[in-house]
Amino acid sequence: MRQLKIAILLPCFNEELTIADVVKSFQQAVPGSVVYVYDNASTDQTAARAQEAGALVAHENRRGKGEVVRRMFADIDADIYVMADGDGTYDASYAPQLIDKLTSKNLDMVVGTRQETAEEQDGDAYRRGHRFGNRLFNWFVALLFSRQFSDIFSGYRVFSRRFVKSYPAFAKGFEIETEMTIHSLDLRIPVAEFPTPYKARPEGSESKLNSITDGFRILGTIFMLLKETKPIQFFTALFILFAATSVALAVPLFISYLETGLVPRLPTAVLTTGIMLVGVVCFICGLILDSVSRGRREAKLLRYLSIPCIQEDLKGGRDAKVDT
């Protein structure tokens, strides 16, 4: 009976206060797993503390969580990947339940949705601004991609090998979780959510998330991915916007022409024509890019299907086990 290889992935930047405890907690929660800590050019002793705790430490000098995750996914070969942050906010004891849900349901991603513990409801584990922003973006993604996630920004996730090795990561920063979510929605990959506790950072540990800057970057990522995955909808919306503007400018000119037989504002007429032409070009671009997008989606899906799922890995998956 084969034991599935489990990798614990911990991207870190200046987490020397918490990383040792996080490494040890995952080692205890998932015995037999290998804990990898990728240090993202930290200026403190994060790498040293992680190595002392028994983790395998590597370095990624390009700043940004997306850069680290892309490097991790490229470097590490395993059957199951558990990704969490090194700040101690995620509960490692829930990892076996996330893994069990992934394997028992034959899924490719399980998201640990953040739930504050009762004693921290009034604390700063999950600030109100972040909570509101999360709900807003969850609703926005559901509106655009027709699937509701309750926590698209959670960094606590479990992946199958075929998700990791078929996922083309392009995000550079904290928008990486959004990109993963939209990737799964675009290919209709089987995923699930599982509620997990979310704790406050210990005193002296600071969040690296900038609500405004990262919020705009995430919003830009969503629109970029909408353009890449649903170009016909994206460019049709632009066509409607330009066409409506053109018609609104043209109506007074048309009325004047009916009354006087003249076009008194020639520059406005030229502008109206130009705006309508831009809208038509946008619509044509949408039609062309929709075919291109379909080809790219088919290529990604074929790559995804070429990798065995959890239950079919090696001996058909029936005699494989997870040691948790």
| pLDDT at residue 205 in the model | 63
CA distance 220 to 293: 19
Q: Look at residue 180 and tell me whether its pLDDT is greater than 60.
A: yes
pLDDT 10s digits, 51-64: 999 999 999 999 99
Higher pLDDT, 120 or 156: 156
Cα-trace Rg, the chain: 24
| pLDDT at residue 262 in the model | 74
Q: Look at residue 314 and tell me whether its pLDDT is greater than 60.
A: no
Taking Cα atoms as reference points, which of 226, 81, 76 lies closest to residue 155? 81
Residue with tokens 């979510």: 181
Of the pLDDT bands very low, low, confident and very high (cuts 50, 70, 90), residue 130 is: low
Q: Is the pTM of this model over 0.85?
A: no
Q: Look at residue 315 and tell me whether its pLDDT is greater than 90.
A: no
Across the range 42-70, mean pLDDT stands at 92
pLDDT 10s digits, 132-146: 777 788 888 888 887
Of the pLDDT bands very low, low, confident and very high (cuts 50, 70, 90), residue 318 is: very low
DSSP designation for 202: P
* Rounded (10°) CA dihedral 259, 263, 265, 268: 110
Of the pLDDT bands very low, low, confident and very high (cuts 50, 70, 90), residue 198 is: confident
Q: In this predicted structure, which of 25-34, 107-116, 142-151 has the lowest mean pLDDT?
A: 142-151
Of the pLDDT bands very low, low, confident and very high (cuts 50, 70, 90), residue 319 is: very low
Across the range 219-244, mean pLDDT stands at 91
- Sorted by where each begins, the domain ranges of the chain are 2-229+308-321, 231-300
Across the range 159-178, mean pLDDT stands at 91
The residue type of 121 is: Q
- Select from 3.40.47.10, 3.40.50.1000, 3.90.550.10, 3.40.630.30 the CATH code of 2-229+308-321: 3.90.550.10
